[in-house]
Structure 1
């Protein structure tokens, strides 16, 4: 096993371990971090012309957004949950379009939106937070 493969394996095990022990608040943070990371990686692939890998990474980012959407609690804050659902749907559509037309600008737009949501989520004190997830 080469060094890069070993490093990837270590990160994978470390991430899986963190997820097992994570609070619901931290799980949302991990999803958002994963989405941002996949979009950034896809951007690099796009710039290098690695189109197949770009598609794989954007698909993973779309799955993460679907996971965030599926985690919304429509019973405890319907209006807020609907707004987040619409935002996640918009971001997903933009990723699909960015993949289709190879638009770095669209990837940057989605990254900016997801980062804004993540910064708000990070500012929540989990000890005082309601259990609903954005």
Structure 2
């Protein structure tokens, strides 16, 4: 009989019960995690780990692109920025360039922080206070 890892169960439940806003926040945090690991892999000259982590980041960015509601004007701008980041990550992977990864990391951090603030404001409006993340 297989034993389950309690942490994995917790993570799975977190994803399954998260709101769409929280899921987007998780995606941004995943991007930042994999970008950090990609930079570390460059430092350690681990080409395979660099490639894997950049590709994981690209997959998340593609997911963010797919979830955009193109009926909303800002989505056009977000699509362009996501596309730019994806192309930059291709270049970073080919050129083994930490500076490009840092640029994308900076953009993702800004998106994540803005998104987190929007979630908090929405919760305050919905529930009259609370809603800290």
Taking structure 1 as the reference length, what is the TM-score of the superposition?
0.83
Whether 1:86 and 2:80 are equivalent positions in the alignment is yes
Q: After superposition, where does 1:7-86 map in structure 2 within 5 Å?
A: 11-75=7-71, 77=72, 79-86=73-80
The CA distance in 2 between the partners of 1:11 and 1:40, in whole Å, is 22
Structure 1 residue aligned with 2:109: 115
The CA distance in 2 between the partners of 1:24 and 1:88, in whole Å, is 19
What count of residue pairs does the alignment treat as equivalent?
Answer: 119
- Unaligned runs of 5+ residues in structure 1 are 1-8, 130-134
Structure ranking higher on relative contact order (CA contacts 8 Å, 6+ apart): 1
- Unaligned runs of 5+ residues in structure 2 are 127-133
Please identify the structure whose Cα radius of gyration is greater: 2
Taking structure 2 as the reference length, what is the TM-score of the superposition?
0.83
